[in-house]
Amino acid sequence: MLTTSCATFTCFQSLVDPRRPAANFRHDLIDILVIALCGMVCYCETWEDLEDFANEREDWLRKHLSLANGIPSHDTIGRVISQLDPSAFLACLQEWIDGLQLELKGKGIHIDGKTARHSFDSASNLKALHMVSAWVDDLSLCLGQVATDEKSNEITAVPALLELLEIRGAVVTLDAMNCQQKTVQQIVDQEADYVITVKDNQPTLHNEIREYFLEYFEGGEQDRRFRRQADKTRSRGRISQRTVTVAPVPAAIRETGKWKGIRSVGMIYRHREPVDATRPRAIGESDHVTYFISSLRPTASLIAPYVHKHWTVENSLHWTLDVTFTEDKSRIRQGAAPAIMGSLRRFVLSLLKRDTSMPKTSLKRKRLRAALNTDKLEAVLFGD
């Protein structure tokens, strides 16, 4: 039973306890979940870590929890979490996000999948968990996630994730795997826009866009309907130049009616070269071209930021999950536990990213300071 009204904790109160019969319960479900949440903020990675954290912070935990029968053992924590319904748990997290009353109009929702590489279990024929997440970089928030068994199921997972989200007015960005007519239709039906990469998995569409841009460049770039925006950056020993060129959708594509809401097509040209080619580890020169479709009007300055920010789902979310939360190394694999803990990591990452009490502090240092100081922990959890 909670002794606090904190929204971060109370969002879990509607979750149904999977244990039966109720008379045998020694530890409330909410106690176990809050311990897992707080422990995740404070660098805990295993069930044993969570038990140790709870024992060390028992006095602080009793300010918010009843803990009628003391601290649950690590076996109890792991067993209970592994029995939870992942969909119901995600609904609880979504309740917290809904309570933020976010304004998503014009915001980019960047969707991509990630596999937790060591979550497989050969003995029980359990495949590695693959989780598809929606990241809003402008808000430093993982807006939602769904778990799948394999990467190939990502095509069906994305529509399921979109159904969970209120995306009206936002711009959804997707990689080429999810360039699917049904997905595009769903985005438009939910009153959002899209920017989606196109590759050879859609050969007809890909070839038509490629030929369209070839004609433009071979014609001396005279067509004024085409608009371009370029930027150049220098970091990690290399110079990177990105040029986004957009144009109104060709009539041949628009008239098929296959791609709902399509208004523009685009090409991204990326060029990389070493700052100093004489350095032993200098990165070689490279050129790369990709194409995309969009429901946005053909304005390069409008579309380019969404194209560039799509990769924040990799850099700000997936990379952080591996480096700061060691997700790829996690050996938690029992029952629903990989999916539950994966969702909890993304929730905690959002809490840490949105925390303003420790400005200019890395996520690793925030977790360490929260582990050492309960005032810092409360600031992360409660937004104080």
Query: For residue range 232-276, what is the model confidence (pLDDT) as tens digits?
Result: 888 767 788 999 999 999 999 999 999 999 999 999 999 988 776
**Backbone angle region of 100, left / alpha / beta, with phi > 0 → left and psi within -120 to 50 → alpha:** alpha
Q: In terms of Cα–Cα distance, which of 224, 214, 201, 193 is closest to 293?
A: 193
The one-letter code for the residue type at 186 is Q
Q: Quick one: pLDDT at residue 176? A: 96
Q: Domain tally for the chain?
A: 1
- Each residue of 67-98: pLDDT tens digit? 999 999 999 999 999 999 999 999 999 999 98
Q: What is the pLDDT of residue 277?
A: 57
Q: Is residue 301 part of a domain?
A: yes
Tell me, yes or no, whether 303 lies in a domain: yes
**374, pLDDT greater than 80:** yes
What's the rounded Cα separation, in Å, for the pair 47 and 45?
7
Backbone angles phi, psi at 369, to 5 degrees: -65, -35
pLDDT in tens, 134-164: 999 999 999 999 988 555 578 999 999 999 9
Task: Please check whether residue 140 lies inside any domain of the structure.
Answer: no
Nearest CA to 266 among 213, 216, 230? Answer: 213
- What are the percentages of helix, strand and coil residues in the chain, rounded to 5? 45, 20, 35
Domain assignment present for 384: no
Residue type, 338: P
Rounded CA-CA distance 148/18 in Å is 21
Q: Does any domain span residue 160?
A: no
In a domain, 76, yes or no: no
- Give the pLDDT of residue 122: 59
On the CB side of 81, how many CA atoms lie within 13 Å of its CA? 28
pLDDT grade, residue 335 (50/70/90)?
confident
Q: Residues in the chain, how many? A: 384
- The side-by-side arrangement of strands in the sheet containing 141-148 is 141-148, 130-136, 108-115, 171-174, 193-198, 286-294, 264-274, 238-248, 227-235
- Give the distance from CA 61 to its chain's centroid: 29
pLDDT of residue 61: 96
| CB 120 within 8 Å of CB 127 | yes
pLDDT at 39: 98
* pLDDT band per the 50, 70, 90 thresholds, residue 384: low
Percent with pLDDT over 70 in the chain: 91
DSSP 149: S
Q: Is 300 a domain residue? A: yes
User: 2 in a domain, yes or no?
Assistant: no
Q: State residue 252 phi and psi, 5-degree precision.
A: -60, -35
Q: Which domain holds residue 286?
A: 176-309
- 167-199 tens-digit pLDDT: 999 999 999 999 999 999 999 999 999 999 999
Tell me if 330 sits within 8 A of 45, measured CB to CB: yes
**pLDDT single digits (tens) 20-63:** 776 578 899 999 999 999 999 999 999 999 999 999 999 999 99
